[in-house]
Amino acid sequence: MSLALLLPAALAALGALLLPLLVHLARRSEQRPTDFAALRWLRQKPRPRHRIRFDERGLLCLRLLLLALVALWLAQPVLHGSASERPWMVVLPGIDPAPLRKEAAGRTELRWLAPGFPSLETPAPDTRVPVASLLRELDANLPAQVALTVVVPAWFDGADGERPRLSRAVDWRVQPRPASAREPFATTRPSVPVIRHAPDRQEAVRYLRAAIESGWFAPPANSATAPVATGRVSAASPDQPLPTDARALIWLAPGDVPASIRRWIANGGIALLDERARIAETIAMTPRWSEPSGVVLVEGGALGRGRVLRLTRPLQPARMPQLLEPDFPERLRGLFTAPMPEPGRVAARDYTPLPGAATYPQAPRDLQPWLALLIASLLVLERWWATHRRRSVAP
């Protein structure tokens, strides 16, 4: 361990040590000798040489010490190398901590892998924790020589897109996966849209029906699975109600969108609107499908819990050549596919931290709070000593 000063120039305040010395010297002049008349005719004897003498040396030393500590406090002292080298074990919430307490037996610092790294004696946090961020934070705060053990379940949430890289090798312990655990991943297809169209949009419906049947019901070209049975696309006039299980809609009708359709979208539906359809609500639109030249073909925005998509041109080959391109079904399906969530759930065996990151410099221990407490205690002692009734009187 070594002591350092963050502001050594503040030691200039040690010049204040002259104040107590001057005060104690000035107290000697408070009492002056007075000559009596009967003694004025006596023969004067040579006076001995006076020496500088300080009265109440204990109080003087206390005051000097008090001022020296104040100057040291202003210099902001810190202590390097004072961190404990006790090994750490952090546990991801969701694991029974009882066996780990027995294993540690007081020799290891036991903490939850959660914000603030609370003690394992406290209840486990019940919220999702950012595992990778917490591991990096803990690695930065612990001294390089401290051993770190991380206990995680077989599957957990809160992972980043890549394995974390730390400055130390970690003892990564994976708990067995319970037999009742569910599969962590599920793949779903986007909902098949229903079509509501005006009579003059019948040609556009033909292109959309073909794209939906090939993009939703048929398996991918590189898939080894058997073809899926072709489904039936619901296409009707705008006055026909939507099916109760409808989640996606293509609305090809000019004019105002009915209030019932707007409520359906706000409750979580996804609707692709005709280029001439109008919606009463103000929606902040952003490009969702653009040509390589930058021309926007479809724009979209949020409405309540749902999404609104709007065509910028008619669904006619002359106005929109993309209708005849092979990737049109995939493009159309992508408009109704929910954005892929950020990776969050991983298998623990595939997320073992990698070593080799740079070592973080350890923050020194701040001694100012302890000095402030000592200064306050000495100040109380000095005031009691200076005002005590049994204090001696200087000659």
Same domain, 108 and 16: no
pLDDT of residue 80: 61
Give yes or no: residues 209 and 267 share one domain: yes
Q: Percent helix, strand, coil in the chain (nearest 5)?
A: 30, 20, 50
Question: What domain range includes position 383?
Answer: 2-30+54-81+365-387
Element (H, E) at 19: helix 18-26
243 in a structural domain = yes
Is 208 a member of any domain? yes
Answer yes or no: do 290 and 380 share one domain.
no
Residue 325 within any structural domain of the chain: yes
Total of domains in the chain: 3
96 inside domain: yes
Query: What pLDDT, on the 0 to 100 scale, is given for residue 226?
Result: 38
* 356 part of a folded domain: no
Q: 119 and 76 share a domain?
A: no
Cα–Cα distance between 146 and 166 in angstroms, integer? 13
| Residue closest to 90 by CA, chosen among 58, 70, 113, 121 | 113
Separation CA 112–CA 53 (nearest Å): 63
Q: What's 165's DSSP letter? A: B
Give every residue of the chain whose pLDDT is below 70, as ranges.
1-2, 21, 24-55, 80-84, 105-106, 127, 177-189, 217-231, 338-344, 360-363, 389-395
pLDDT value of position 119: 87
Specify the 3-state DSSP secondary structure of 300. Answer: strand
- Cα(23)–Cα(32) distance, rounded to whole angstroms? 17
106 and 142 inside one domain? yes
* 326 and 216 share one domain: yes
Among residues 203, 191, 187, which one has the least CA distance to residue 272? 191
**43 lies in a domain?**
no
What pLDDT, on a 0 to 100 scale, did the predictor assign at position 262?
Answer: 92
Handedness of CA 147, 152, 158, 161 (dihedral sign): positive
Give the dihedral sign, CA 81/83/88/91: negative
Whether 295 and 260 have beta carbons less than 8 Å apart is answered as no
Q: Which residues pair with 366 in a beta bridge?
A: 78
Residue 37 maps to a domain? no
Tokens matching residue 210:
């073909």
> Are 293 and 241 in the same domain?
yes
- How far is the C-alpha of 335 from the C-alpha of 300, rounded, in Å? 9
- 55 token code pair: 């009265």
Does 211 share its domain with 298? yes
Residue 49 domain-assigned?
no
Task: Calculate the CA 61 to chain-centre distance.
Answer: 50
d(CA 117, CA 128): 14
Query: Minimal CA–CA distance to 138: which of 110, 158, 116?
Result: 116
Q: Cite the beta strand spans of the chain per DSSP E.
A: 2-5, 77-80, 88-91, 109-112, 148-152, 155-156, 171-174, 194-197, 235-236, 248-252, 255-256, 270-273, 277-278, 286-290, 296-303, 306-311, 346-347, 365-366
Q: Could you tell me if 26 and 93 lie in one domain?
A: no
| 66 and 138 in a common domain | no
List all residues 6 or more positions away from 127 whose beta carbon is below 8 Å from its beta carbon: none
Q: Which residues pair with 19 in a beta bridge?
A: none
CA neighbor of 55 nearest in space, from 346, 386, 335, 312: 386
- Does residue 123 share a domain with residue 19? no
Is residue 25 within a helix (H) or strand (E), and if so which, with residue range? Answer: helix 18-26
| Cα–Cα distance for residue pair 278/257, rounded to 1 Å | 6
Same domain, 171 and 204: no
**Which residues are registered as beta bridge partners of 150?**
90, 172
Q: Residue 164 in contact with residue 353, Cβ under 8 Å?
A: yes
